[in-house]
Structure 1
Amino acid sequence: MSKIAVLGAGSWGTALAMVLADNGHNVRLWARREDQVTEINELHTNKQYLPGVDLPQNITAFTNIELALFESEAILLVVPTKSIRTVVKAILPHIRVGVPIIHASKGIEPSSSKRISEMIEEELTSEYPNPVVVLSGPSHAEEVSCRQPTTVTVSSINMDAAEYVQDLFMNQSFRVYTNIDLIGVELGGALKNIIALCAGLTDGLGFGDNAKAALMTRGLAEIARLGIKLGANPLTFSGLSGLGDLIVTCTSVHSRNWRAGNMIGKGKSIDEVLEHMGMVVEGIRTTEAAHLLAKKVDVDMPITSALYDVLFNGKKPEDAVEELMGRVKKHEGEDLSGLLPNTSNGNA
């Protein structure tokens, strides 16, 4: 049994806390609201985020972050991307050097174009050489909390730490693979939210399966182009944190990014969507970050650019689709050439 601090008591943080608790760990769950903490500790529920789910008895909630971190042997961050730096700064006085910091958030920081692991490492500084591990993959909190079969990936530049985290989470309903490609795993998890927003948007516009299949396929090529440019292994994007996460996020009503896009496609404004959702929609912020990053590194991302114009420049979704369909003709291989490693021996 290990003491694990889980920082963030939304749907995903609570579901992952349940996995750890099922594995016999002592889980200390941090939440900001006193009423939520009281509910978790006294009723063993978190109805706002996981209605109808009973939480294991070995999850204890705290509003005091120092108490949540007390003697923790691993720390799991499950907070929005915009809160990562604030939370890491808050935990620094209370963590032990060497304790793994795991994050299960999916995003990119618009102002710096940094991935979440880079943000965490930047805030830790050289005084805290704690290994950073990412957990990502096709995983709806609603299904994980019901112990339905789920498979994810963990990655780190410290593979000993990744394997330690694999052991913490692995059980009969939650299978965990390791992957050495930290860049690809993080980018796949973040960028698929952009395509999921677009998938919801096309459904909201009344388009059919043909449009969604095209969007997901071309979206994957777009994700891979940027990832390869930034040093990712192209094969990662055909795995759990790439294609797997893309499928589950683009095709399920559990996906908050799909739901947000669907409302936008039906004519709702961004403000109306966010008010209705009541939760962070990471894809909106990631669209801004990826658009800026693609321009910085000179990578063509037409779907991302079109969504950026809809979200931030007031373009009508119908007009954005028309422009995408009217782009200059191309050979499919031009955009897919980076998805597989070069196996040529020079004689082809």
Structure 2
Amino acid sequence: MTTPPTAPRRLAVLGAGSWGTTFARVLADGGSEVVLWARREEVAREIREQHSNRAYLPDHSLPETIHGTSDLGAALEGVDGVVIAIPAQSLRATLAPHAALPEVPVLSLTKGIERGTDARISEVIAAAGGAAPARIGVLSGPNLSAEIAERRPCASVVAAPSQQLAETFAAWCRAPYLRAYTSTDVVGVEVAGAVKNVIAIAVGAAVGLGHGHNTTASLITRGLAEITRLGVALGGQGETFAGLAGLGDLVATCASPLSRNHRLGLALGRGLDVEAAAAEVGQTAEGVATARAVADLAARLGVDMPITRAVVAVVDHGEGIDEVTTALLSRSVRPE
């Protein structure tokens, strides 16, 4: 086995939400110096001066090796690597005005599909950030940020176009509580991370409607089938979806009340509309914006994704969640 390279001295994390801040601490715990970019100066100042981010990571202190800034250019200056944790639908607008990312490895934590272009996030980073696809990787897996912030043991998958680059990214994640597995299936890992948020909304809605474990297990299982069909159609490897990035992340996101997408679905199932449900969650639930992009992509490729279409019917077209759930469970008989 190849010995992983040592962690780089300085990494930039773009995005100081709950996941970006948590992962910045993972990197710092692994021995890296981290520059954490926040869109708002007041958040950057708190990170810089108080070593905390109470808006997104309350009750947790940040290591002194994490430095906050709201200046994107300054965050990227002299870094050995870049980690991106910016919401999918605002990523292009954030990167594009700044011309090009530095010519260093870039790891995406963002999970979603861009609306309007149906592009995967690594494709958005290449187009808007000027990064060569050969140096872009993605991370996925059971990544509930609240548990990782408590330094509870977990595993993730880092995928990159080459095994060497994947090992570089894995070496960044040397915190004692996070085990990084490597993959070269960027497409599969990225699709799994995006679509599981859509399925989690459906599962949360089923729980909110009062349905039991049989219903949720059925939705999770058939949801995995949808994810796999789309991922393989896009060039992903089938075995990826049975692993941490596929089944592992799907189960965690669908079953845990810590998942924003699960909580949003739960609120929909209780009768709230999308706007009220999103306000109750309070943070970005990527599955809402991703659902239509996934459905459009699937339609273009001729991939059947009924659960995804049902979520789109609710979040984009205002259909009742109870009607959609009934329709899903009363589909015509067909082979599994």
Give the TM-score normalised by structure 1. Answer: 0.91
Alpha-carbon spacing, 1:48–1:177, altered in 2? closer, same or farther (3 Å): same
> Which one of the candidate residues 56, 59, 77 is aligned to 2:63?
56
* Structure 1 counterpart of 2:4: none
- Native 8 Å contact 1:106 1:282 kept in 2: yes
Q: Does 1:216 align with 2:182?
A: no
Residues in 2 aligned to 1:82 and 1:331: alpha-carbon distance in whole angstroms: 37
Instruction: Show structure 1 runs of 4+ deviating over 6 A.
Output: none
Shift of residue 145 of structure 1? 1.3
* Structure 1 counterpart of 2:148: 144
Secondary structure of 2:304's counterpart equals coil
* Structure 2 counterpart of 1:188: 192
- Structure 2 regions of 5+ residues with no counterpart? 1-7
> Which one of the candidate residues 153, 162, 165 is aligned to 1:161?
165
Residues in 2 aligned to 1:17 and 1:148: alpha-carbon distance in whole angstroms: 16
- Aligned residue pairs total 329
Residues in 2 aligned to 1:262 and 1:316: alpha-carbon distance in whole angstroms: 13
Residues in 1 aligned to 2:73 and 2:25: alpha-carbon distance in whole angstroms: 21
- Paired amino acid for 2:18: S
* Structure 1 counterpart of 2:102: 96
- Paired amino acid for 1:299: V
- Paired amino acid for 1:113: D
Secondary structure of 1:52's counterpart equals strand
* Structure 1 counterpart of 2:127: 122
* Structure 1 counterpart of 2:325: 321
Alpha-carbon spacing, 1:35–1:300, altered in 2? closer, same or farther (3 Å): same
Shift of residue 91 of structure 1? 4.1
Residues in 1 aligned to 2:112 and 2:133: alpha-carbon distance in whole angstroms: 23
Shift of residue 124 of structure 1? 4.1
Secondary structure of 1:310's counterpart equals helix
- Kindly report which structure 2 residues correspond to 1:1-40, keeping only aligned pairs within 5 A, or say none: 2-40=9-47
**1:56-95 Cα shifts (integer Å, max 9, x gaps):** 11101001111111200001110001122123324435x4
Alpha-carbon spacing, 1:129–1:108, altered in 2? closer, same or farther (3 Å): closer
Shift of residue 170 of structure 1? 2.4
Alpha-carbon spacing, 1:92–1:3, altered in 2? closer, same or farther (3 Å): farther
Residues in 2 aligned to 1:162 and 1:52: alpha-carbon distance in whole angstroms: 32
**1:155-179 Cα shifts (integer Å, max 9, x gaps):** 1113322211111112321100111
> Which one of the candidate residues 82, 88, 105 is aligned to 2:110?
105
Q: Does 1:69 align with 2:93?
A: no
Residues in 2 aligned to 1:96 and 1:327: alpha-carbon distance in whole angstroms: 50
Shift of residue 7 of structure 1? 0.5
**1:128-176 Cα shifts (integer Å, max 9, x gaps):** 5761011111111111111110100111113322211111112321100
Residues in 1 aligned to 2:65 and 2:310: alpha-carbon distance in whole angstroms: 46
* Structure 2 counterpart of 1:133: 137
Residues in 2 aligned to 1:9 and 1:231: alpha-carbon distance in whole angstroms: 32
Shift of residue 20 of structure 1? 0.8
Secondary structure of 2:99's counterpart equals helix
**1:216-245 Cα shifts (integer Å, max 9, x gaps):** 011101111111111111110001110000
Q: Does 1:43 align with 2:50?
A: yes
Residues in 2 aligned to 1:139 and 1:124: alpha-carbon distance in whole angstroms: 25
Q: Note the aligned Cα RMSD (angstroms).
A: 1.5
**1:176-227 Cα shifts (integer Å, max 9, x gaps):** 0111111100000000001100111011101111111111011101111111
Residues in 2 aligned to 1:193 and 1:20: alpha-carbon distance in whole angstroms: 25
* Structure 2 counterpart of 1:250: 254
Alpha-carbon spacing, 1:129–1:238, altered in 2? closer, same or farther (3 Å): closer
Seq. identity, %: 40
> Rg larger in 1 or in 2?
1
Residues in 2 aligned to 1:33 and 1:129: alpha-carbon distance in whole angstroms: 29
Give the TM-score normalised by structure 2. Answer: 0.94
- Native 8 Å contact 1:110 1:292 kept in 2: no
Shift of residue 275 of structure 1? 2.3
